[in-house]
Amino acid sequence: MSTVNTPRQGRWYFGGIASAGAACCTHPLDLIKVTLQTQQGKLSVLQLTVKVVREQGVLALYNGLSASVLRQMTYSMTRFGIYEAGKKQINTDTFLGKITLAGLAGTAGGIVGTPADMVNVRMQNDVKLPADQRRNYKNAFDGLIKVYRHEGFTRLFSGATTATGRGVLMTIGQIAFYDQIKTMLISTPYFGDDLATHFSASLAAGAIATTLTQPLDVLKTRSMNAKPGEFKGLWDIVKYTARLGPLGFFKGYIPAFVRLGPHTIITFVFLEQLRLNFGVLPKVEAPVAVAQ
């Protein structure tokens, strides 16, 4: 049997590699999103960007890059890996199957990725703090060690509840919807397993994921960036955010989509290229010999 036209299957770790590559491209957008969410003022995206660059230089837009990459290599590698491996156990031919598997993968990814996510948020938020209040983590691992030493092990998982909830919705919005939309497009005579399909499906998935996750993303960012004892719990953060009105829960939506849209597109384009070029061919069962 010829394998020339047989579609290759992705390896479990491709998602983490693709996400890390995308993070390197979209990190400045993520930093501006975090800064916008944690401020109580009304500076626009452009005003915040100009303020950061003017006060600290262009390289300040890449503060926390090491934590961002570490987050993708824990959070995204876990959820993509579980989703890919889980296809052997859960039928993903139906949309319900895709959502179920994505929910499980997102739960695990949210928990595993929380420590790196917290350090990522803090390193990004440093750019808007006065010099005497900055945490000044040298890199992601330095941040993890300092949090553990000064604030305790449990602090590493601060915001785990919202991070896990966000991880579930993000994985459903990104992976499950991408998978479903891609399948629907390929089933028509106008699309094939090519770049145009990957781009279209990932753009739609990025918009869906942003809408689903933005309220939890705002709460997660505030929780992770809070000082010890600043909030009594998640409900306290909800009430604090609600002071800004209903739209307070969608604060930073535009930069979130501007960041997540390209991030999702780049991730899946990278992922599909890894699959097409370095994926494994499905095993073909040898024909059973018929006794003469």
Q: Is 231 exposed, middle or buried (0-12, 13-18, 19+ CB in 10 A)?
A: middle
Of 239, 204, 203, 193, give the one whose Cα is nearest residue 219: 239
Residue 289: which pLDDT band, with cuts at 50, 70 and 90? Answer: low
Extract the tokens encoding 129.
């703090």
Range with lowest mean pLDDT among 68-72, 84-88, 119-123: 119-123
Dump pLDDT digits (tens) for 255-287.
Answer: 788 878 999 999 999 999 999 999 888 776 555
The CATH fold of domain 12-278 = Mitochondrial carrier fold (1.50.40)
Residue 96's pLDDT is what? 95
Entry pTM = 0.79
List % helix, strand, coil for the chain (3-state, nearest 5): 75, 0, 25
Residue 58's pLDDT is what? 87
Token pair 């009304």 is found at 42
Which distant-in-sequence residues (6+ apart) come within 8 Å of 274 by Cβ? Answer: 10, 11, 14, 17, 18
